[in-house]
Structure 1
């Protein structure tokens, strides 16, 4: 993410991520997880749009047990989480092209960790103004088209839509990869589901099989009510 914005962690190769995601190759992939801004983006550079943070969405966040044995959940983070699909390291990405994010009414997020310190999971739930959740889905699809593959400091970041009509049409399943010259490829899964004006986005490390991802995604849908 852009280093010119306010973030929650160090800048690595132009990507701002939390301190727990310090490896450069991982931070390049997890730009969809961490985000980099603490206030709502505007419709344009001269039209800031204020978004109020509400805590009513906490019940829609996954619990640690929803991810499986051994996971521990952090407290939900205070302050407005960023839009989870920013891609400032992608040459074809322009934040101002994606206007739905400036019409969020509220958003909450939580991180989940395993005792071994391996890659965390992340969940963000956003509520949009009427009509804007669907436009947000369109924006996400556009980001994934424009930034399907690009280079970051010699490593190739890529995103593939595994299922464009996931969970019977209410969601989107994406696999992100970063290919390194001298180390194994890193993979991560992203699940986005929408119900009315609420959008739930989960980021998961590679769990070894899609069935595990499907189970967690179904629980996220149930949390939306």
Structure 2
């Protein structure tokens, strides 16, 4: 986790309580940056690695639309350019950016945030295109960071990740559950659906919808968006 030093959070999220993802004053990239719609530079990635987005295969058409998430969702404009790596965990004691080289071999990306009408936690979808051979290595990097940073304390809260299905979407993806817990406050849960298709990696982050069937339905729509 790292502090937003003097930076403004676009679309600051209103949490349900002090244990929600949104109200933490510092951000956990894989859980909160994607939830809060805030961007910051990624450690170890220079400006020369932030190239312009290609039209395809990671174009806006690969992203979910608000209707894919169900009723009551509104989508932001698609954003191009390389965002921080979705699995950056800079406040995990065992995280070292240099141990995850695939993120430096992204060629293009496009992302979108989705806001619920009730003002609760938003969803996020990013589609990244990698240099030849690096999408598979990215999957390995994700698996490794999930092992090294499976659980750790952050400012009085406990952050944890669990791989719900290591062979999700016919073996091409991962289904991950992220959780933030704090004593005396209801825990917060998000699901992450990651799919690799060739050299393209699609990652959807969404607040717990309350049923696995809903998660699976949204995941299937993300697969369809990749074509």
TM range (shorter): 0.7 to 0.9
Report how far residue 26 of structure 1 moved. 9.0
Partner residue in 2 for 1:53: 52
Q: Which structure is richer in relative contact order (CA contacts within 8 A, separation 6 or more)?
A: 2
Residues 148/31 of structure 1: CA separation in 2 closer, same or farther (3 Å cut): same
Report how far residue 51 of structure 1 moved. 3.5
Aligned equivalents of 1:25, 1:207: Cα separation in 2: 24
Q: Secondary structure at 1:85's aligned position in 2?
A: coil
**Structure 2: stretches of 5+ with no match in the other structure:** 14-20
Q: Secondary structure at 1:218's aligned position in 2?
A: helix
Partner residue in 2 for 1:24: 24
CA contact 1:35–1:81 (8 Å) conserved in 2: no
CA contact 1:77–1:109 (8 Å) conserved in 2: yes
1:128 to 2:127 alignment: no
Residues 59/53 of structure 1: CA separation in 2 closer, same or farther (3 Å cut): same
Aligned equivalents of 1:140, 1:62: Cα separation in 2: 22
**Structure 1: stretches of 5+ with no match in the other structure:** 10-16
TM-score for both structures, normalised by structure 1? 0.86
Q: Secondary structure at 1:156's aligned position in 2?
A: strand
TM-score for both structures, normalised by structure 2? 0.85
CA contact 2:43–2:97 (8 Å) conserved in 1: no
CA contact 2:110–2:126 (8 Å) conserved in 1: yes
Partner residue in 2 for 1:186: 188
1:119 to 2:118 alignment: no
Report how far residue 97 of structure 1 moved. 0.7
CA contact 1:5–1:37 (8 Å) conserved in 2: no
- Tell me the alpha carbon deviations over residues 162-212 of structure 1, each in whole angstroms, 9 at most, x when there is no partner: 000001101100001111111111111001001000000000001000100
Q: Quick one: which of 75, 85, 88 aligns to 2:87?
A: 85
Report how far residue 50 of structure 1 moved. 2.0
Report how far residue 3 of structure 1 moved. 4.3
Aligned equivalents of 1:48, 1:166: Cα separation in 2: 34
Count of residue correspondences: 214
Partner residue in 1 for 2:169: 167
Calculate the aligned-residue CA RMSD, in Å: 2.6
